[in-house]
Structure formats: C-alpha cells, structure tokens
Amino acid sequence: MLPIRDNVPSRTPPLAMWSIMGLTIVVFVLQLRLSDQQLARVVYLLGVVPRRYTQPGWAAHVGFPGIGLASFLTMTFLHGGWLHIISNLWTLWIFGDNVEDRMGPARFLLFYLTCGVIAGIAHVVTNPGSTVPAIGASGAIAGVLGAYFFLYPRARIICLIPIFFLPFFIEIPAFFFLLLWFFSQFFSGTLCLLTAQECGGIAWWAHVGGFLAGVFLHRLFLIRQPARRPFFIDEYGVEGAWPWAGYR
C-alpha cells in the first residue's frame, strides 16, 4: 500500500522540509561519486554501528575513531540506494509539510533531528551486537509520522494498491493508515528479535523508536497559539449591544 498524497494543504511554504530534502539529495549525489571502498568507509564511520557503542573495546580494535556520537545525526542523511532515498523523501514530502505548519521551520528541523537521534538509539538498544551500519532518514521520518498521527488523525490518505498489475486507489483515514504502518514495523521488529536475524538490513526498531518519539515529543515543538480573548457582548454586532432587542 503506497501513499500518494493526503488531503491537507500546507498553509505556509515548508522551508525546513525542503532544506532537509535538498541536503539529503546533495549527500546522496556525493555518495554516488565515491568508490565502493570509500563509500563503505563513509557508511561505517557516519552510520550507526550498534556494536561500536556497546563494545568500545571492539570498536577501538577495528579502528573506529573516538566515540562517534555525531553518527546519530549523520546517519539520517545517508542512504543505501535509489529506492531507499526515493521512498524516504516521498514519505517526508507527503507528511512533513503539515507537521511543519504546526511547528515552524526551526522547531520542525530540531524535532526531525531529535527523532532521528532517538531512532538511532532505539536501534542500538535492540541490536547491541550488530556490526551492520544503520543509515537512512526513515527513523526521523517515522517521528514525523508519529506527530502527524496525533495532529491530523482525521486527514485522508490516498493510497495505491496494485492488484494483478492493475492500480487501485483508495482513500483511508490517516489514523488507520499510520496505525497499520506502526504495527507492521512493531511486528517485524519483534519477529527479528525472536529469530535473532538481521532481517534484511531494515532497522525496524529505529522506525518504532522514531514513531514513538514523534508521538510523545511533538507537543514540545508546536507553536504556541495565542490565547483567544473573550468577546464582550457589544462586539457581536448591533444586536449584541442590546440583548433585549431579540426578546419578543
């Protein structure tokens, strides 16, 4: 089920979202110019390798420099291929503008990066012995989905469902779509933990952690709406100035 668009128009230009997408594309273009050996080095150094943080002795032995906490930020802007980056940026394009509407550019950027860091931490906690680097914006974008889940639960998402190579379009509530997405990630992550497998290199628990971060933290980043002053009775119109005018 592929989301195509939502029915909530953005009220302001999503400057932060465009900036994030632009930087992500620039980084990906730079990745394409690297040799396989150079790319592997960049991914290992700037991606999140869980064992690097759970076993510092091993990390020093294999040559990781320093603690590498910056990797929890840089991992968000690295991607493993065309499908990886297109799917992530497409999702951000659909849901990010509306969340930025409620936060403003600066708060949205901070929120996005915070969710990405928490997603990386969730991946390390649930895969402490993994030596496979985790990269991609999906954890941070999952945080955006978590915020959207509460901010726009009644929005409608138009989705594409291919059936026997024929495209079918359906419109479903955002609440249902995002809840279904979350439980699919949670189920897949739980299955990976029970079977002790890498599960195709997908950081399921990073998605879960990012989504929950968005759910619980998004209110801290919302623009505070000014309190509405109550109207006095003579401000409702001519009739309001004389309450008895309506009496019969």
Q: Mind listing the pLDDT tens digit for each residue in 5-54?
A: 999 999 999 999 999 999 999 999 999 999 999 999 999 999 999 999 99
pLDDT (0 to 100) of residue 205: 94
- Which residues of the chain are under the pLDDT cut of 70? 196-200, 226-248
pLDDT (0 to 100) of residue 248: 43
Cβ neighbors of 215 (< 8 A, separation 6 or more) are: 146, 147, 149, 150
Q: Which of 113, 171, 181, 121 is nearest to 145 (CA)?
A: 181
pLDDT (0 to 100) of residue 131: 92
Average per-residue pLDDT in the chain? 90
pLDDT (0 to 100) of residue 243: 52
Predicted model pTM: 0.88
pLDDT (0 to 100) of residue 194: 82
The tokens of 226 are what?
């000014």
Class of domain 2-195+202-223: mainly alpha
pLDDT (0 to 100) of residue 227: 58
